């Protein structure tokens, strides 16, 4: 058996890309484990392609602390039990809407937009994970600036210019991060609630001449399939009593009001249009009543 040594930095860099890579030639199998970055050897099989092994380079890295020792190492108490797992699976956990969304965990999240506390929620009915970026103390707050942002994978993550979602998300995070307090709730309801793959179909239909509302209707969805029941529940779990919504969409105010949340007003988000999204923004203004 032979071992190949790599400088630690190299291993750390390679670690993610070729984690558990297996060569097509069984005689030259190379195993890289996640532990490599922590100080493990790269291990390599001998000519017979024997089992992969790894060894520890430092004294500490092979040590695994027991649960009691780990608990003793904590500097405070987390507000969840490690053994308490939220329920997976739509419809299994509850039939009651109120009971479906629960706060699972929170942690500090410094970001390029300011200092936030990140809260994680689980909606068992829909089997979805939602988050809230909270700046300052919002508990018991009235007129708290809040953005309810519906996930847009193409815009928020991939930087699509077909819509202004990412600009709105960044503007909202920047705004709330600079206020005394505020929150951005990130709701996992992609593509106005129709899902990512249907949204790509809708984009294709738009290339063929339909507008965003017509494309949704053509696919058998309402022009607007988003639901703010979960958002209202999350605001309640955060202890926010009333909000001022960061939005250009008056329909969102109405829908949140209908879910029993007090809405004190609206804070407009002004994003100048670009040639790629002019048509989309015009449809939002003319067909959906957005105030832009």
Binding site for Zn ion (CB under 5 A): 152, 155, 163, 165
Residues 6+ apart with CB under 8 A from 18: 32
CB of 160 to Zn ion, least distance (A): 6
**Residue nearer to Zn ion on the CB measure, 11 or 211:** 211
Q: Which is nearer to Zn ion, 29 or 131 (CB)?
A: 131
β-strands 262-267, 242-246: how paired? Answer: parallel
Taking the C-alpha atoms of residue 198 and residue 176, their distance in angstroms, rounded to an integer, is 32
Are 188 and 128 in contact by the 8 Å Cβ rule? The answer is: yes
Give the helix/strand (H/E) hosting 80. none
Q: How far is the CB of 169 from Zn ion (least distance, A)?
A: 9
Contact 240, 138 (CB under 8 A): yes
Of 100 and 281, which CB lies nearer to Zn ion in the complex structure? Answer: 281
Q: In this complex, which beta carbon is closest to Zn ion, that of residue 7 or of residue 159?
A: 159
- In the complex with Zn ion, the residue whose CB is nearer, 141 or 155, is 155
HSE-up of residue 181 (Cα within 13 Å, Cβ side): 15
* For Zn ion, the closer CB: 86 or 203: 203
- Closest approach, Cβ 280 to Zn ion, in A, equals 9
245's tokens: 């919504």
Please state the closest distance from residue 272 (CB atom) to Zn ion, in A: 16
**Shortest Å, Cβ 159 to Zn ion:** 10
Helix (H) or strand (E) holding 149: strand 144-150
CB neighbours of 156 closer than 8 A, spacing ≥ 6? 165, 166, 169
- Residue 174 CB, shortest distance to Zn ion, in Å, is 18
Structure tokens at 184: 């951005």
């Amino acid at each position: 058996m032979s071992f190949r040594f790599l400088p630690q930095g190299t291993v750390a860099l390679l670690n993610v890309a070729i984690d558990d890579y297996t060569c097509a030639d069984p005689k030259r199998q190379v195993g890289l484990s996640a532990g490599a970055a922590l100080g493990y050897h790269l291990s390599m099989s001998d000519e017979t392609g024997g089992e992969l092994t790894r060894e520890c380079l430092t004294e500490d890295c092979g040590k695994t602390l027991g649960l009691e020792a780990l608990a003793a190492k904590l500097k405070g108490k987390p507000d969840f039990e490690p053994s308490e797992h939220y329920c997976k699976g739509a419809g299994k956990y509850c039939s009651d809407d109120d009971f479906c969304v629960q706060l699972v965990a929170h942690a500090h999240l410094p970001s390029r937009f300011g200092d936030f506390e990140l809260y994680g929620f689980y909606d068992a009915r829909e089997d979805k994970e939602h988050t809230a970026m909270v700046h300052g103390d919002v508990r018991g707050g009235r007129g708290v600036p809040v953005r309810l942002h519906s996930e847009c994978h193409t815009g928020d993550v991939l930087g699509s210019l077909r819509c202004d979602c990412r600009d709105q998300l960044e503007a909202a995070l920047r705004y709330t991060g600079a206020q005394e307090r505020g929150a951005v709730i990130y709701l996992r309801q992609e593509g106005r609630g129709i899902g990512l793959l249907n949204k790509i179909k809708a984009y294709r239909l738009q290339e063929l001449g339909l507008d965003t509302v017509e494309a949704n209707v053509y696919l058998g969805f309402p022009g607007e399939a988003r639901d703010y029941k979960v958002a209202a529940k999350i605001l309640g779990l955060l202890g926010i009593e009333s909000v001022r919504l960061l939005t250009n969409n008056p329909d969102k105010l109405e829908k949140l009001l209908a879910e029993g949340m007090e809405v004190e007003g609206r804070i407009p988000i002004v994003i100048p249009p670009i040639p790629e999204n002019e048509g989309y923004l015009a449809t939002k203004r003319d067909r959906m009543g957005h105030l832009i």
